Structures are given as C-alpha cells and as structure tokens.
Chains A and B, each alone.
Chain A
Amino acid sequence: MKKNLTAWLCLLPAIAFLGVFMVYPLVDVLIYSFEEGYNFASQTFWGTGLYNYSYVLHDPYFIQALKNTFIIVIITVPLSTGIALLISLELSSIKALRDFFQTVYFLPYVTNTLAVGLVFMILFKKTAYSDGLVSLLIQLFGGPSVDFIDGPYWAKMFVMCFYTIWIVMPFKILILTSALASVNPMFYKAAEVDATPKWRIFYKITLPMISPMVFYLVITGFIGAFKAYSDEVALFGTDLNAAGMNTIVGYVYDMLYGNSGGYPSYASAAALILFAIVFTITTINLMVSRKTVYYQ
C-alpha cells in the first residue's frame, strides 16, 4: 500500500499537468462544440445539439479551408516524401561532396522563418518595383506576368505547396539518409552477385528495409499538413479568408480570435471535425502499413 502511494506521488506532477493542460481542454472543447448560442461574455448558452457542426459545415469559409487543406495534404505529403527519398538515395550513393550537399539540404531546417519568408517574397511577390523573380523568368520565356501572392488561386496554391514541401524536406532527408545508412551493405552484395537490376534492388530490398521510416514520415507528414497554418500566415498574411488560402486550423483560430472571433463553439466543432479527419486518415495509414511495412 505504501509502495503504491509513493508511485502515485511520483506520478502526480505529470498527471496534474496533463490533466490541466490536455484532458480538461479536450473535454471542454467537446462540451463547447455541443453548446448552442454560447456567449463568451456572459458564459451562457441556450441549448445543446449539433447546430455548431451544421453551421461550420455550411460555412463557405470552412469549405474553402477544408478544400485548401486537402489540396495541400494530397500534393505535399507524397511529393515531399518522394523527393526526399530521391535526394537521400543520391546522397548515399555519392562519396565526394556528400557532407557539403548534406549541409545544403539541411539548411532550411535551421534558417529563420522570417528570412525564408523574405526570400519567398523576392521570388514570388509582385510589388510596385518588381514582378518577382519567378514571374520575371516566366516572362523571359514569353509567359504572362503572374502574381503568386495576390494573384490567381492556382498560383497561390503553387507557392503554398512549394513552400510547404521545401520547409519539410530537410527533416525527411535527415531521417531517410540515416535509414539508408542502416541497411546492411551485405544485402546489396548478395543482390549484386545474383545480377539484380538497380531498380529492383531499390524496390525489393532498400524500400522494404527502410519502410518503417518512410511510414513514419508519411504519418507525421499527413498530420503535420492537416495542421498547416503558420506557413500560410507567413506567405499570405493574417487575413487568410480574404486571400482564399485559409486552412482548417486557420479557421479555428479565426473563430476564436480573428476579426469575426469570439465563437468558441464553432471553433470547437471545426477542431473536432479536423480531429475526425486526421484520425480516419491515420487509421487508414496504419491499416495499409500492416501489409506494406516490414519491421525487423
């Protein structure tokens, strides 16, 4: 009994912190999402039900945010993982300059977000003085002038995805190069003796052996992309609804603190919808992984 008490005492700080900062807010969010007409000032509401969910799902801003988030997820997660894998493969097959390239590819990870934002502005933003570097290049080849930051939707989405891929790449390369290095070279020798073509060595040996790491990157990639918000703000400013580039997390934030803020019920409902989406996708991922991922 005394032993038990000591154990509980040791656990208490962690339980207290988790309870106050994790469990309580989670429960609170759940409750908020079912309270209709909640008033922030008087802390009162006039009923319970599913109205908040209905409102959010019919809100065009939320639909736009949902669409944006899904486009970002579907484009950036496979592309960033694929490109990172390609770069890692090249990195592990070269000898000369490997350290140099590893540093180059890792730089975005340690670069200040504001500096990155500035560079992207120079590349893409149309100002009174310049059309932006990329736009100038397009014009050089006879294309039209494109404003990537305040212009058409596809142009903004392109910059958004480009930025997201670029910002998540270093971490993925870091993980994948170390995963590749951990594959026993003996397997490659065995495959070489058996006249295995290069692509087959990759597909049949390398990929299965690093599959746990790839899977880890895909799952965290999905979750990270669904929670995208700050990168959007860095590129398009705080009024994401006006720019048409809002995301689900952005919508939640706006509902709480934005110009039209003060609606914790709507924000909670939107957050729980996001949770349901992420949960579903992760479950699907886990189910797929059971067949394709090999753990040593």
Chain B
Amino acid sequence: MKVVLEHVTKRFPNRNKKIKEYVIAVNDFDFEIPDGKLIGLLGPSGCGKSTALNLICGLEKPTNGRIFFGDTDVTELPPQHRGVGLVFQNYALYPHLTVRENIRFPLENFRGDKKLSKEEMEAKVQEAARLVQIQELLDRRPNEMSGGQQQRVAIARALVKRPQVLLLDEPLSNLDARLRLQTREELKRIQLETGITTVFVTHDQEEAMSICDTIVVMKDGVLQQMGEPQKIYDEPVNLFVASFLGTPQINTFTGKIRDGKIYIGDSAVLDAKGHADEDVYVSIRPEGFVVDENGPLECEFLNREVMGRDTSYVARHPLFTGENIRAIIPSEVISTGKDGKIRFSLKPSKVHVFDENTTERIIL
C-alpha cells in the first residue's frame, strides 16, 4: 500500500501558554512512499519525525493537508481504522501478559465477520513468532526477555494483524550496539519477507542508510531531501544534509570561488569552470582526501588513528569550521607529514560546494 502525504502540516500550540506562536512540527510535507518499500525518516531529535509518524499512524491529526493510503483518504480516520501496525520506541509490551497473549492481543479485537477462532489466532501468532524467530519464547513475560527479544515481540505484535503499513518509532535506539546491528538486518529481512510498506523513524544516519530503500531527511519540521541513501550521500542538496549523513562527518571549510577555481585560503584546491565568483563552504568527505606531497591543501598534522581496515588522519586548518579534520586514508598509505604539516589533494566527486548564505549546494 503506498502512502501519500499531500501538503501535510502539523502545528502545536506552544507549551508555554504565554507565547501565542505555534510550534510547527511538520511543515508542508508533500511526498509519496511507494508500495512495499522501507522508508527511513531521518533527522536530529526534535525535528518532527515522530510527529510525522504519528500523523501517518493517526494518533495525531494534521492541521492542514491530506493523507492517503493507496487511493483512500485516511486523514479523518482514527488509527484503529487505518490498518496500521505501530512499534513503539520502548516497545509498549503489556507487562502482565505473556508473549503469546501480547501478540494475540490485536487479533482478539477483531469483531463481526473478521472474528477469528482460537485455532486461527494461534496459527497467526505462530506465524508472526516464526517471522521474528521467537517461537520458543511464547510463554515468557516481557520482563523475562532481553531488549532485542522484546523488540521482536513488539514487531510480531504489530505484524500479526497484517497491517497495510508498518510504522516503527526509533525501533533500535534502546538496544546495545551489537544488537542494533543484528536487529536492523532482521528488520530488513522481515520487511522483504512480508513486503509491507514500512516507515521507520531514526536519528541514526548509519541505521537509515544501511537498510532503507529511501531516506527522508528532515530538519525543524521541513523536509530537506528525499531519495535513495547513496544518492543523498553523493548529492546532498544542502550543507545540513551533507553534514548529517556520513561518519565521520563531512569536513567543511570556508572558501571562495575565484576565476573558475575553488580556493581554501590561498590554495586553489579544485576547478570550478564557468562559475561566478562568490564565497562558499567547501565540504570534503573524509574519504575524499588523498595524501599527496604536492597536494594543494596543507594542514597541520596531529596524529593517525589506526582502525585496521583504514586509517583516520586527524589534522587542523585555520579555515576549517569545526575542531579537527578527519580524513580516512587506506591503511597501506603511511605518512606522518613533514615538519608537522601534511598535504592533501582532493577527489572531485567527494567535494561539495555550498552557497555561504543559503547553504544550498552549488553544482559544479
């Protein structure tokens, strides 16, 4: 089932009642989530991504705009009539019920001709449990299980009624690092196996990039960019998107375009033929640096952090906007610079230039 948001806006009254201004959590969202895909809503905390999820779910009503599931307008429908499954950040498993009873809970709510017999319910519970691989835990209670297992139960409970859309609110944030890695693969497998359109909210760009078919990047309630993970990484529309995606973070310098060349300070680092002179931000992905004795960019060398597969070079530059520059260099290259300085040349495809005022990307 595809999900369409048509100019959806959500405003909340300010919590401080003295302030008359509204808080805009979601500002004019207008996009389509294709059928059977895994979509990640990505953004820093407080950017409105959970609100966006609640709008799709029906727990919140939009101030403006309409929401469609397929061709059906569901804007006015309460969540129970939308056929959505929701997985909460802290799972919201009923602590007094066993895993089996938890998963069966949504099925027991079916009324009229949808009502299921005991055997049908058990079969569906078993199927959902198999899907998330918790068959042997069915008689436990939530507090007798690990976080990862609880998460699986929560997903099984959301899936058991065969929702048209599966919504996950920060599903991995309560898990430890190793479990997070495992569970996100699991999530992808379950999504592929069921083919249910899935929307999940996260502030972890790595999580979103690794399993999503499409990422929606948000900031302050405004949609920044939507697209495939690789495309967003390679062609960010603005400085925010470029900085938010990728670890280590993209390295941003203040620079300028003069006479068809990009300058950082006095060094011309790349060509920019046919572009008018202006002041810009020059952002370089960590993997965009090449150690080169004759490279144009000279930095103060601090140290090397060996990570095995590759090496992280930590350096400084007066025009760098952050604290330390991080360059990822293949481990076979070993250099410690000369006199405390190191020189880099840059891979053009890994360098993005942004307008200094609008922070929009300037396509070279």
Q: Do A and B come from one complex?
A: yes
Which of B79, B108, B161 sits near A192, CB closer than 8 Å? B79
Contact assessment for B92 and A190 in the assembled complex, using a CB-CB cutoff below 8 Å? yes
Q: Determine, out of B81-89, B122-130, B131-139, the stretch whose residues face the partner at the interface.
A: B81-89
Known interface pairs A186-B88, A204-B105; A193-B94 also in contact (CB < 8 Å): no
Q: Complex Cα distance A195/B109, Å?
A: 6
- Convert B158-189 into 0s and 1s, putting 1 for each residue whose CB lies closer than 8 angstroms to a CB of A: 00010000000000000000000000000000
Which residues of A sit under 8 angstroms from B58, Cβ to Cβ? Answer: 193
Residue in chain A with minimal CB distance to B101: A204
- Residues A189 and B59 in contact, CB atoms below 8 Å apart: yes
B118, CB-defined interface residue at 8 Å? no
How many whole Å from A85's CB to the nearest CB in chain B?
A: 18
Contact, CB under 8 Å: B109 / A193: no
* Interface membership of chain B positions 110-127, coded 1 if the CB is closer than 8 angstroms to chain A and 0 otherwise: 010000000000000000
Q: Check A194 against B161 for contact (C-beta < 8 Å).
A: yes
Q: Which residues of B contact A190 (CB under 8 A)?
A: 86, 88, 92, 94
B57 close to A193 (CB less than 8 A): yes
* Main secondary structure on B side of the interface with A: loop
CB neighbours of A194 from chain B (8 A): 80, 105-106, 109, 157, 161
Interface residues on A, range: 10 to 19
Residue on A nearest B81 in the bound complex, by CB: A195
Residues of A within 8 A of B88 (CB): 186, 189-190
What is the CB-to-nearest-CB distance from B270 to chain A, in angstroms, rounded to a whole number?
Answer: 51
A200 to B111, CA, bound (A): 12
Using C-beta atoms within 8 Å of the partner chain, give the interface range for chain B. 20 to 34
Q: Which residues of A from 185 to 232 have beta carbons under 8 Å from B? A: 186-187, 189-197, 200, 204-205, 208-209
Q: List CB contacts (< 8 Å) of A153-207 with chain B.
A: 184, 186-187, 189-197, 200, 204-205
Q: Name the residue on A nearest B86 (C-beta).
A: A193
Choose among B58, B78, B79, B92 the residue with the greatest number of A CB atoms under 10 Å from its CB: B92
Alpha-carbon separation in the docked complex, A121 to B349 (Å): 93
Q: How far is the CA of A209 from the CA of B108 in the complex (A)?
A: 19
Interface residues of B (CB under 8 A from A): 57-59, 78-81, 84-86, 88, 90, 92, 94-97, 105-106, 108-109, 111, 157, 161
Give the interface of A toward B (CB within 8 A): 184, 186-187, 189-197, 200, 204-205, 208-209, 294, 296
